[in-house]
Structure 1
């Protein structure tokens, strides 16, 4: 691939096998959306929990889905498909989300989905033909977005590193990526210039995150060891306190006997054992010292398993619950004893607490959601087979940059880009699936790169089914893993944010280039003005889709101005 990834004319005339695949997959995705088993829109998925549990109606859920999807369908999905000749998930799966949820009957959902698939495969080609005959071909102008999207997308690892690990590492990553882009363009001109740079950047980000998590784990282990040392020191101190003699006239077990006598008489001096000189005052003092010795023994005892309470019966302490009481009714050492032992108790909950998930209701919800998805595993495997087969037809791309790469036949680079994207969106899809009980239409989206790389449709269907089955079966474990690796989870979130930012800027810049191609300064005025008005109005159309939608509207307006003899098209 050359350094200038311009896209040729978009061809939306699909083969019969491609048409049938698109229609069948749209029917299947609409059925699955009707069952609230999976949807493509990540923003809709959390709302499905109320629908699944009967707290929301089908109509209300459909309204939410349409409101969150319409801008992406008409502002991003349709213009992207018309400009590249490659279908995308915003154009196929967002409408089937809406249609599947809208259908009141199960049998109607796949029919509506199939109808939408037919509209896409048969209608877009006609739209492209009509647009090509206009004085201002705004669909051809949209192809100007290819270069900024592909090249700016390369920098998303450097942005993610800067946000998570600071300016110094981010600047270093950006310099390294730029050097790798230049080297690739010079030494391997047939390779996509950003391929190696993206790979190195993503590996550096994951390496930084893993190193931080490992450092935190080592620090936690050292802190727990220090807590254990402090607890042991407190135990030894308690043992030494127990070994102090009760009084000058008491030897051996005489102090215990004195305490026992005092406890029996309710602490009366008359019942206390006399000292060596027979004075009652000294015996009373001895009894009081014995009581103090007993309190110290109870509060700071070395062995939480047994404590001599003066009556000769051992009492078992409960180290698992802070604030538990001994057999004698005294507070245990965990509550009022050594602070180190108390801290250790807070850090190490009892086995019953761990087994119950710490009493967290979210743990129960996650388990219920994972069980619900596993119960529908055969249907989800069929979904994985269909989506992977669709990607294998070379008529579908999973993202903005991927669509342009697929259009140019760069399937390996497209797989690389969507693999990085999958890692970026993995925490979002996994957590929303566990919280709602509804999965993603493409799962964790690993079926996309698998489909791009496989040469055989039957093999693609088989691998897609296996990939989605593995994802569903491992979903609960993935959730626990993300909880134990906070930096890795954060790096995925930073990746997603960086991808969104780079593509947002690239699409805006490419849309302005398309506007200039259509109408020069007037085109930039119309398209840029529509974009800014959308921002001022509170983003009636989502930001990502606003610029391509403005190009389409601007192209229509320029054609109207031409027919009114108010505008002369720019000669390309």
Structure 2
């Protein structure tokens, strides 16, 4: 862990926390509509805002962001920016509170980065080292992510078109896996990414079907007109937001963070091209959500529509260029906020596609992480792992405060690894040969 990495992650934590403290940006989409009730309407107190932020974010930090990060040694951005949302709302809305927010946000970013490495090193010292097995949690994601366009098409346009998209994507996957490696005249071997080509095929069909949906509306145009002052507020803070977007891109280029579990697993496996494609598809899905909530609330996201992650992935090992280009991308996003929102009125299918992309990616992730957790658990405790994960998953459904489905697989695998070590110390468990 070099000083540059700590400076970048610390600066990101500080900036994101201060933006939340002043009501300029929050990462949690569910919290964004709440901020105007405090900053603009004064309908709730600072204490109520802080309590709401904690309620909607803390469980995702502990139950999702950190467990997914441990398996790959890369921080899932949720574990960083959801906590900066909490810190920013809990610190007072004063100059001293702003400074305190920056210090605590930087401390969280640096502490989490060092702490994750400490946890990884600690696992390696355990009598039964299950860290290698945890790597299996992300294995199904690598191929499963290329399936989500077919699922999104099915959600939006029905089973037949979804099955067609998924079927042709599968055909491309098999075809490229079989014939995707060849030798150039100079003797250099070239391998085409099967998952990348599969994803491109599915996305092409997804966009084609969405564009074919006819009709126009004035929904976004009306939103822009009604909330013109809140759009101006975002544009007034576009320099600060752009700097934060640049820091997100820089941290991604240093392989410190990833925007979602799909690209995280791909980055961890060195598949940066596929990770960039996955991040790009996710960005498309978040345009309608981020832009619409930003227009209505006057509050943006510190990661924007998440295209800054694509920049960071494509510029691996070049944090300075990633910072510059990431800031520029965020600047362009905010400049086009009104125009892009109005443009979506002309393509209702594309506007609606965003919600279906997010739903499809979440469902694919839930299944992939559950299967990955089961595979990892079976490696940790052969003959018991599948029983354990299925039991945890179903019992979680009955809990008063259940974990989100995406977190069950990783959390179950980590818990089983800890239990196995305790049993070993009690001479009640012997590792498989």
TM-score (normalizing by structure 1)? 0.70
Which has the higher mean CA deviation after the structures are superposed, 413-422 or 529-538?
529-538
1:159-238 equivalent positions in 2, closer than 5 A: 159-189=151-181, 190-213=191-214, 216=215
| Alignment partner of 1:60 out of 48, 71, 86 | 48
Q: How many Å separate the matches in 2 of 1:472 and 1:179?
A: 39
2:49 is equivalent to residue 48 of structure 1: no
Q: How many Å separate the matches in 1 of 2:402 and 2:47?
A: 22
| Alignment partner of 1:562 out of 407, 416, 424 | 424
Give the match's secondary structure for 2:402. Answer: coil
Change (3 A) 1:570 1:369: farther
1:347-386 equivalent positions in 2, closer than 5 A: 362-386=223-247
Q: Give the C-alpha shift of residue 385 in structure 1.
A: 1.6
| Alignment partner of 1:80 out of 68, 71, 80 | 68
Q: How many Å separate the matches in 2 of 1:364 and 1:136?
A: 61
Q: Give the C-alpha shift of residue 363 in structure 1.
A: 4.8
Q: Give the C-alpha shift of residue 502 in structure 1.
A: 0.4
Q: Give the C-alpha shift of residue 43 in structure 1.
A: 1.4
Unaligned runs of 5+ in 1: 1-13, 221-353
Tell me the equivalent position of 1:228.
none
| Alignment partner of 2:26 out of 39, 54, 57 | 39
User: Residue 145 of structure 2 contacts residue 278 of structure 2 at CA under 8 Å; is this kept in 1?
Assistant: no
Q: Give the C-alpha shift of residue 444 in structure 1.
A: 0.6
User: Residue 138 of structure 1 contacts residue 551 of structure 1 at CA under 8 Å; is this kept in 2?
Assistant: no
Give the match's secondary structure for 2:75. Answer: coil
2:6 is equivalent to residue 19 of structure 1: yes
Q: How many Å separate the matches in 2 of 1:187 and 1:68?
A: 47
2:356 is equivalent to residue 494 of structure 1: yes
Aligned length: 417
Q: Give the C-alpha shift of residue 376 in structure 1.
A: 1.0
Q: How many Å separate the matches in 2 of 1:541 and 1:184?
A: 38
Q: Deviations over 1:516-549 (max 9, x none)?
A: 1111233333333222221111452222223222
Q: How many Å separate the matches in 1 of 2:63 and 2:128?
A: 19
Tell me the equivalent position of 1:397.
258
Q: Give the C-alpha shift of residue 476 in structure 1.
A: 1.7
Q: Deviations over 1:136-155 (max 9, x none)?
A: 33433221122211111111
| Alignment partner of 2:138 out of 121, 130, 146 | 146
Over aligned residue pairs, what C-alpha RMSD do you find? 2.1
1:534-549 equivalent positions in 2, closer than 5 A: 534-549=396-411
Q: Give the C-alpha shift of residue 424 in structure 1.
A: 1.1
Q: How many Å separate the matches in 1 of 2:117 and 2:262?
A: 21
Q: Give the C-alpha shift of residue 421 in structure 1.
A: 0.6
Q: How many Å separate the matches in 2 of 1:187 and 1:65?
A: 51
User: Residue 366 of structure 1 contacts residue 476 of structure 1 at CA under 8 Å; is this kept in 2?
Assistant: no
1:129-528 equivalent positions in 2, closer than 5 A: 129-189=121-181, 190-213=191-214, 216=215, 362-454=223-315, 456-528=318-390
Q: Deviations over 1:480-499 (max 9, x none)?
A: 22233221111121111111
Tell me the equivalent position of 1:94.
82
Q: Deviations over 1:386-435 (max 9, x none)?
A: 11111221322211121122122222221111000111121111111112
Q: How many Å separate the matches in 2 of 1:568 and 1:457?
A: 46
Give the match's secondary structure for 1:493. Answer: helix
Which has the higher mean CA deviation after the structures are superposed, 461-470 or 504-513?
461-470
Give the match's secondary structure for 1:212. Answer: coil
Tell me the equivalent position of 1:284.
none
Q: Deviations over 1:159-215 (max 9, x none)?
A: 1111222222222111110111112222235443211111111111111111222xx
Larger gyration radius, structure 1 or structure 2: 1
Q: How many Å separate the matches in 2 of 1:410 and 1:431?
A: 32
Q: How many Å separate the matches in 1 of 2:419 and 2:428?
A: 11
Q: How many Å separate the matches in 1 of 2:70 and 2:2?
A: 17
Tell me the equivalent position of 2:111.
119
Which has the higher mean CA deviation after the structures are superposed, 395-404 or 508-517?
395-404
Q: Deviations over 1:41-98 (max 9, x none)?
A: 1111111121222212222222222222223212222222221121220121111111
Unaligned runs of 5+ in 2: 182-190
Tell me the equivalent position of 1:30.
17
User: Residue 370 of structure 1 contacts residue 472 of structure 1 at CA under 8 Å; is this kept in 2?
Assistant: no
User: Residue 59 of structure 1 contacts residue 102 of structure 1 at CA under 8 Å; is this kept in 2?
Assistant: yes
2:94 is equivalent to residue 106 of structure 1: no
Q: How many Å separate the matches in 2 of 1:513 and 1:76?
A: 18
Q: How many Å separate the matches in 2 of 1:82 and 1:570?
A: 23
TM-score (normalizing by structure 2)? 0.91
